[in-house]
Structure 1
Amino acid sequence: MPKKIYTTKSWLDNDTVAAWTFLTPALSLLGVFIIWPIAYLFYLSFTAGSFTLKGTYWIGLKNYWRLLLNPDFWQVIGNTFYFTVATIIPSLVISLGLAVLLNRSIPLRGIMRSAYFLPSIISLVAAGLGFRWLFQTSGPVNGLLDFFGIPAIPWLGDTFWAMPVIILMSIWKQLGFNMVVFLAGLQAIPPSRYEAADLDGANAWQQFWYITLPGLRPTVIFAVITTAIFTLRSFEQVFVMTGGGPLNSTNLLVYYIYQEAFGQFDFGYAAAAATVLLAVTLVLIYFQLQTWKEE
């Protein structure tokens, strides 16, 4: 009868142990720099006080109740919603049109792609300073209006015009990124679909409506969600251009959190507002993951 031979396996032969061994450094960094700050933020939203010798103390849901009853918070929510919607729609429509144009063989296509993408890599602070200079009372935009006999407009000092200027800058900043995303989506659509449509006598608009848009469905959803996240975390343009004014008309949620935390030192209340922002962002990410799963 043959003897059984027993060998000692290396601990790396156990797939589970090996996987956890190699994942531990990354998970440690993830826990220290992402999971722990989120957990502490959530805890802080149930406290009051400051980081002094007195410290913080538990107050339960009072910070969230203050959010619900604070008219300034609801004005900021309205500003953020207006800013988000007014930025997403033009940035998607214009960038899709540019992508369709640049997907064709036209002169200087490579240079134009680079030129349109350039704003995406420019610092938001630098872009904000540039737009503030353009739209200041004695700036080039009002100089152009004066050339045509139109009175100067206090763009950044007017409650009606200040937000559209910030929206314009944000659209300009986001166009290049969305254009590249749409270009990648367009190149993933099989050319055979367009060839079949040509044989069936479909014109350019019919091809765009029945082939391009359906083929870009996951790309459009990705662009919508990434642009929404970009607008929800907007801070630099408000900080540099208007400081949330005039009369709180350009105050967005991230800037409001900054004001409450580092202007008023009301860290618990600011943490509650930041938790609301985190919840909205997680919902958007969930929809994006569900879309990818369906596709």
Structure 2
Amino acid sequence: MAFERSRKQLLDNDAIAAWIFLTPALLMLGIFLIFPIAYLFYLSFTTGSFTAAGVRWVGFNNYLRLILNPDFWQVLSNTCYFTIATVIPSLAIPLGLAALLNRNIAWRGLLRSAYFLPSIVSIVAAGLGFRWLFQTDGPVNTWLNAIGISPIPWLGSNIWAMPVIILLSIWKQLGFNMVVFLAGLQAIPPSRYEAAELDGANAWQQFWYITLPGLRPTLIFATITTAIFTLRGFEQIYVVTGGGPLNSTNILVYYIYQEAFGQFDFGYAAAAATVLLLVALVLVYIQLQTWDEE
């Protein structure tokens, strides 16, 4: 009995100590994460006015406005197009580079550093560079003209403007995903490849039956993080196109910014931000569920 009593007392003391150490972190989490999310959700049911008129409860009107607004559906379509067209190359290209740079080739260290460089470059600076490259009289059109192709109004076309943004986003994400895949490749035991070679498996069969299954957790992580990166894309839109032309490059985050700080319609912007938050939470839930199955 004395042992059980002392054990319970020790556990109680450990629990108290744990709560004492966790309290500052929990307070910071509540102030800077939980409270803003709760306030955003509340704001989405109001007019969201910060003027003397005050905040007025409007219920589901902001969400109804979202559903009935054709601009919102265009922005949602742009966001889906932007996300899918960015995520797939942002996984395929770095995976190929990682598989190549995981071998003993010349200048491997230099190439790894060069490919990682976009990840540490400011996206605002990169956006300004891409805007200069793809302007009407910029270097890209100059090169096209030199090989006999008529100049393309990249940033002034509702067809070509989005591919420029997608190319910038892929370039920015390339280095990070390459490093993630390199770490995943180095975690696969070399003995698996040796056994496959003894069984007569060629390079493609080794990649398909050993590399890809071994990279499954890494692929899930890279897919979710890349999707979230594209969903919160703002700087590239703001710097390069400003959502134009004709709203063709306007995605959800930039649309929220326009409604909140351009139109000062904070309640409507909060409703759109809640939709974006729900999408991000679904992606995180899928990632956690998939990891639990590993």
Aligned AA for 1:260? Answer: E
| 1:21 to 2:24 alignment | no
Q: CA separation in 2, counterparts of 1:11 and 1:260? A: 55
**What is residue 134 of structure 1 aligned with on the other side?**
133
Shift of 1:267: 0.1
**What is residue 3 of structure 1 aligned with on the other side?**
none
Which blocks of at least 5 consecutive residues in structure 1 are unaligned? 1-5
Alignment of 1:33-112 (within 5 A): 33-112=32-111
**What is residue 155 of structure 1 aligned with on the other side?**
154
- What number of residue pairs does the alignment pair up? 289
8 Å contact kept, 1:166–1:237: yes
Q: State the identity %.
A: 79
Q: CA separation in 2, counterparts of 1:123 and 1:30? A: 27
Shift of 1:219: 0.7
Q: CA separation in 2, counterparts of 1:233 and 1:33? A: 18
Shift of 1:49: 4.4
**What is residue 239 of structure 1 aligned with on the other side?**
238
**What is residue 180 of structure 1 aligned with on the other side?**
179
Shift of 1:245: 0.3
Runs of 4+ in 1 over 6 A off after TM superposition: 9-13
Shift of 1:146: 1.2
Aligned AA for 2:92? Answer: V
Distance 1:11-1:40 versus aligned 2 partners, 3 A rule: farther
Shift of 1:149: 1.9
Q: CA separation in 2, counterparts of 1:80 and 1:244? A: 11
Aligned AA for 2:83? Answer: T
Give the alignment's Cα RMSD to 1 decimal: 1.5
1:96-118 deviation line (CA, Å, top 9, x unaligned): 00000000000000010010001
Partner SS for 2:131? helix
8 Å contact kept, 1:12–1:18: no
Aligned AA for 1:98? Answer: L
Shift of 1:292: 1.8
Distance 1:13-1:47 versus aligned 2 partners, 3 A rule: closer
**What is residue 196 of structure 2 aligned with on the other side?**
197
Aligned AA for 1:90? Answer: P
**What is residue 124 of structure 2 aligned with on the other side?**
125
**What is residue 251 of structure 2 aligned with on the other side?**
252
Alignment of 1:269-284 (within 5 A): 269-284=268-283
Partner SS for 1:58? coil
Which blocks of at least 5 consecutive residues in structure 2 are unaligned? none
8 Å contact kept, 1:48–1:266: yes
Partner SS for 2:87? helix
Aligned AA for 2:62? Answer: N
